[in-house]
Chains A and B, each alone.
Chain A
Amino acid sequence: MFEIFGIPSTALFGQLLIGLINGSFYALLSLGLAVIFGMLNIINFSHGAQYMMGAFTAYLILKYSGLGYWPALIVAPIIVGFTGIIVERLFLQRLYKLDHLYGLLLTFGLALIFEGVARNYFGSAGLPYTVPDSLRGGQNLGFMFLPNYRAWVIAASLVICIGTWFVIERTRLGAYLRAATENPTLVRAFGINVPRMITLTYGFGVALAAFAGVMAAPIYNVSPQMGSELIIVVFAVVVIGGMGSILGAIVTGFGLGVIEGLTKVFFPEASNTVIFVIMAIVLLVRPAGLFGRRA
């Protein structure tokens, strides 16, 4: 164990690690928000609630069917993504012609409903969800102790984020998506079912949130308000990164997580607010966001 700037290395690397983990969640969630906003021009306020629903679905799957973490990682996002598709078909479709703010208000209302229902049935204390046995324990790296599960979280998020970026930026499906964002009528004229693409895109974004929720369940405890606490930070991340680019969302998410972790070491009182302060600075200096294109 050695010291850097007077802080023991265990503390520093430990907090950096936690920062990377938080950053993974920020990246996953802001990625989902960016994908949804890109296609639908709607800010999905219920993103946090859908993240929470992913965690709860995993908990319920375990409770009622005995299926553990690994199946839940796949099943929960599908289930929650499906509810997202229903939401899009029933509600969001009617709002496309109106001001974007109505979409924000509607998804805010949905978030309240989801959180309220969860609180009613489960109470607002946290529910336990254990780390899967295969990922228990950790590695003693000498300068710090690295729990296996947390390493998995970082790795999995990176894979999903880069995978999503790849699909959107480098494949034909992604090309259709990007084209439909820019000019839906023209793309429709080419015979591509744009409304269905929009619906599926929303479902995918929601599934991303739920996936993050399942990953969060073992470490953050499953509670109804886990989403609402997180979503506002993610909003700040998104404002900083700019909604323009997928890559921007990923980089900003991880980067801000690390900065937050560092702040916890050197200036712990500010750790809650540092992301918002950065947002204020970015707004003053570069209003479109770090990676954004001028609206």
Chain B
Amino acid sequence: MEHVADPLVKKPSVLRSQSETIGFVIMTAALVIAPFVTYPLFLMQAMCFALFACAFNLLIGYVGLLSFGHALYFGWASYLSAYSAKAWGFPPELAILTGTATAAVCGLVAGSLAIRRQGIYFAMITLALAQMMYFFALQAKFTGGEDGIQAVPRGVLFGIINLKNEMSMYAVVLIIFLAGFMFIYRIIHSPFGEVLKAIRENEARAISLGYKTDRYKLVAFVLSATLAGVAGATKAIVLQLASLTDVNWPMSGEVVLMTLVGGLGTIFGPVVGAFAILVMQFKLAPIGEWVLVIQGAIFVSCVLLFRRGVIGEIANKLHIRL
């Protein structure tokens, strides 16, 4: 049975996890220095999207499931985080937890419906469910419809850290991102993760070995949705806004694009992809409408020529794992 991500490591190097550790150190160092050189608000946004992409990659890269409606979890977590902070007065840590919990529940419901089908049908179902929740967001009173939820307070974290201070907010977002990233890393390199990869390679064989693959897929789905929720909930606090853009299908498409560009099935790919796409959007903002065309062109060229993505190609050339 075909699977989406080609096996990346042809000759596993003995030092395989060293490359990943080095990569992690470089990434963390870069993110620590960056806010002193670049606009911190942009970086925080990029980290939220990077986490979102990593969560998405968990499903497609390691289980082989293309979720085309991942904006559902990102966006609804964003809404609930924003609403609980603004209308219920939750402190930021509780707001983010609320958002994350919302995403987990949505992931459970959506996942149990979508897992019933395979491959393309799975993708179409996730898209359709996301669209349904988009319409729900459009009409529900508390989401503010076209206006979104604005003026979300940054609040005071744990009662001591004032998040209105840009650098404090940055530090918090950085920690959340790194924690999420490491969590995904642990999932992938655990026995659970090995079963997931087995399902990706050959589901029939995994079933014949006695694994209840549907259950594994559902758990992976919920984990992916929950982490996407963490990203969305954090973004709402950072940008102090939750809007329809977060639940709409172009957002789902964008996270696919980020992961594709960065490299499906690599651990750093989504991070690189997210930053790359956001920088591109930023730089091309003056010629606004061309962004859509360029994103489409990148999609097409990645699928045709560049299936491994940036990190994937690097990893393949150097015979390391990234």
Contacts and interface: CB of A to CB of B under 8 A. Distances in A.
Given A105-B256, A116-B296, A228-B249, A280 B129 contact: yes
Interface in B245-267: 249, 253, 256, 260
A112 B295 CA distance: 7
Interface in B107-147: 113, 116-121, 123-125, 127-129, 131-132, 135-136, 138-139
Contact of B132 (A95, A109, A119, A277): A277
A-side interface mostly: helix
Interface in A260-295: 269, 272-273, 276-277, 279-280, 283-284, 287, 295
Interface stretch (B39-47, B50-58, B156-164, B299-307): B299-307
A105 B131 contact: no
B120 A91 contact: no
A28 interface: no
Interface in B72-122: 113, 116-121
Interface string A95-113: 1001111101110111111
B32 interface: no
B292 interface: yes
Contacts, number: 126
Nearest to B295: A112
A236 B128 contact: yes
B135 A273 contact: yes
A280 B2 CA distance: 27
B-side interface mostly: helix
Interface in A109-156: 109-117, 119-120
B183 interface: no
A137 B317 CA distance: 67
Interface residues of A, number: 42
A235 interface: yes
A232 B128 contact: yes
B296 A110 contact: yes
B4 interface: yes
A27 interface: no
Contacts of B135: 272-273, 276
A256 interface: no
B3 interface: yes
Contacts of B117: 239, 283, 287, 295
A172 interface: no
Contacts of A105: 66, 256, 260, 299, 302-303
B291 interface: yes
Given A273-B135, A283-B116, A239 B297 contact: no
B73 to A, nearest CB: 16
Nearest to B139: A269
A157 B18 CA distance: 62
Interface string B283-303: 000000111111111111011
Given A273-B132, A287-B116, A109 B300 contact: yes
B293 A120 contact: yes
Interface string A30-45: 0000000000000100
Nearest to B256: A105
A170 interface: no
B293 A112 contact: yes
Given A91-B300, A101-B66, A106-B299, A112 B292 contact: yes
Interface string A229-247: 0001101101100000000
6 contacts: A100-B119, A101-B66, A105-B302, A116-B294, A120-B293, A239-B121
The 9 closest A-B pairs by CB, nearest first: A109-B299, A112-B296, A116-B292, A276-B132, A116-B293, A113-B296, A272-B135, A109-B300, A236-B128
Interface of B: 2-4, 66, 68, 113, 116-121, 123-125, 127-129, 131-132, 135-136, 138-139, 249, 253, 256, 260, 289-300, 302-304, 307
Given A116-B295, A120-B289, 8 more contacts: A104-B120, A106-B303, A106-B304, A108-B253, A109-B303, A110-B296, A115-B292, A239-B117
